[in-house]
């Protein structure tokens, strides 16, 4: 099959290519030529289209798509160029910089993921939130895409509603809980697993939705958790269940925690603190208040690693969060029960304090 479109593209040509791509998708949408699923994601009723049913099923298995009776507000597309007859151009603009890239495309009506990866385009039409992620073939998706498909599109959609996707783990009890933040390897996922194994709740351990429109809340957005073999060894029951699960690109088992911890994966909760865990192997967990500026630096760096190109929004979001929530550094022990108890105690202390202040 001959493919439509240019092989290479620069900043000047990009808006016209996006115009044509969005027009093509709109026509296919009208002709009902794509597979799709409807539902509510990040407080948006959206229709997720893909160029094959398998991709729709995969996305539905990873994203928390909730039933919705409301009309579709946004259309999101996950496409393989070869399946729709489109050649996906290579970025060919050696003198680009991120500021002029963002500015030029925004003035043309698009928000676009910076072209860091070859022939991999993620773009949102600003006027109506319609968004497309397209690669030449499914094999060209980045290896980490499977853990959180459409994450930039979800993130941009959330931003339209004064929310944002953040990279954090979560633990809660009785409707209140904490964010677990930090760079990869800090111990976020292991801490979440420790809490879940001891009966706490969570909305996720990787990407979650942060809603700061009122009292800060964490909301579930993805339905997958990840853990490597070393981490799983601390949880023998879970390790046994996941032994046959294929490992992802990072050597981690991916699983749906709703099946592994039934009833403990909740939709949302009110945040009372931010915890920055650190793998320390100390005899007992050590929890210490963290200075706001130090926490801001750590949080901004960790978030920027996941949503690069948005440094000012990231800094401001984290600063707002730290203006309302205390931050703590948690030196982790090896004992899951100790970790869970330390966090539970903190949540109860802060919730009681808050209740006293409100009274």
Partner 1 sequence: MRMPMSVNQFELAAPQCVADEFDGEVVILHMATGVYYCLQGLGAAFWRDLMAGHALPDLIKAVASTDSALEEAVTTLGQDLIAAELLRPTTVNMPETAPSVLAAYVAGDRHLGLDSYDDMSDLVLSDPIHDVDEEIGWPVLKT
Residue 302 vs 346, nearer CB to partner 1: 302
In this structure, how many other beta carbons lie within 10 angstroms of the beta carbon of residue 259? 10
Judged by CB under 8 A, the stretch of 3-11, 17-25, 121-129, 311-319 that binds partner 1 is 311-319
Nearest residue to 180 via CA among 46, 102, 272: 272
Q: In 10 A of CB 103, how many CB atoms?
A: 11
Of the residues 39, 109, 114, 326, which one makes contact with partner 1 according to CB under 8 A: 114
Q: With residue 336 as reference, give the H or E element that holds it.
A: helix 336-358
Structure tokens at 199: 């009966």
Helix or strand run (H / E) with residue 117: none
Output 113 or 133, the one with its CB closest to partner 1.
113
Which listed residue (57, 128, 229, 297) binds partner 1 by CB under 8 A? 297
In this structure, the number of other CB atoms found within 10 A of the CB of residue 147 comes to 19
C-beta atoms surrounding 18 within 10 Å? 21
Distance of closest approach, residue 87 Cβ to partner 1, in angstroms: 22
Asked if residue 90 binds partner 1 (CB under 8 A), the reply is: no
Asked if 98 interacts with partner 1 (CB under 8 A), we say yes
Is residue 249 a contact residue for partner 1 (CB under 8 A)?
A: no
Part in contact with partner 1 (CB under 8 A); list of ranges 6-14, 168-176, 281-289, 305-313: 305-313
Q: Does 324 bind partner 1 (CB under 8 A)?
A: yes
As measured in angstroms, the least distance from the Cβ of 226 to partner 1 is 16
- Out of 53, 103, 174, 352, the only residue in the binding site for partner 1 (CB under 8 A) is 103
Residues ≥6 apart with Cβ < 8 Å to 180? 168, 169, 170, 171, 188, 191, 192, 205, 275, 276, 277
> DSSP states of 129-176 as a string?
--EEEEESSGGGS-GGGGGSTTHHHHHHHHHTTTEEEEE-EEEEETTE
What's the min distance (Å) between Cβ of 156 and partner 1? 18
Q: Which residues sit at the interface with partner 1, rule CB under 8 A?
A: 96-99, 103, 114, 116-117, 293, 297, 300-301, 304-305, 308-309, 311-312, 315-316, 319-320, 323-324
């Amino acid at each position: 099959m001959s493919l439509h479109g240019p092989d290479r593209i620069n900043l000047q040509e990009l808006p016209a290519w996006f115009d044509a791509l969005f027009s093509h998708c709109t026509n296919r949408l009208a002709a009902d030529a794509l597979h799709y699923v409807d539902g509510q994601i990040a407080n948006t009723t959206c229709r997720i289209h893909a160029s094959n049913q398998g991709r729709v099923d995969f996305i539905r298995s990873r994203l928390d798509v909730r039933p919705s009776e409301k009309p579709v507000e946004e259309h999101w597309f996950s496409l393989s160029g070869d399946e729709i007859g489109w050649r996906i151009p290579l970025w060919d603009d050696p003198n680009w910089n991120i500021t002029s890239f963002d500015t030029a495309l925004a003035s043309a009506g698009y928000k676009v993921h910076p072209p860091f990866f070859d022939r991999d385009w993620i773009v949102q039409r600003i006027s109506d939130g319609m968004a497309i992620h397209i690669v030449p073939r499914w094999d060209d998706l980045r290896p980490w895409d499977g853990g959180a498909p459409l994450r930039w599109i979800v993130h941009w959609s959330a931003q339209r509603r004064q929310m944002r996707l953040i990279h954090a783990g979560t633990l809660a009890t009785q409707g209140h809980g904490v964010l677990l933040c930090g760079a990869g390897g800090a111990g976020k996922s292991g801490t979440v697993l420790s809490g879940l194994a001891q009966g706490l709740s969570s909305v996720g351990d990787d990407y979650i939705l942060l809603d700061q429109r009122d009292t800060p809340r964490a909301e579930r957005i993805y339905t997958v958790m990840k853990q490597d073999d070393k981490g799983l060894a601390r949880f023998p029951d879970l390790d046994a269940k996941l032994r046959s699960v294929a490992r992802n690109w990072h050597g981690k088992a991916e699983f749906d925690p709703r099946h592994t911890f039934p009833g403990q994966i909740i939709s949302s909760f009110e945040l009372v603190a931010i915890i920055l865990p650190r793998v320390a192997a100390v005899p007992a967990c050590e929890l210490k208040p963290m200075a706001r500026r130090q926490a801001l630096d750590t949080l901004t760096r960790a978030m920027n690693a996941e949503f690069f190109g948005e440094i000012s929004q990231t800094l401001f979001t984290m600063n707002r969060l730290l203006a309302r929530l205390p931050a703590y550094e948690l030196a982790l022990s090896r004992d899951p029960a100790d970790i869970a108890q330390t966090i539970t105690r903190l949540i109860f202390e802060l919730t009681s304090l808050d209740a006293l202040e409100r009274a």
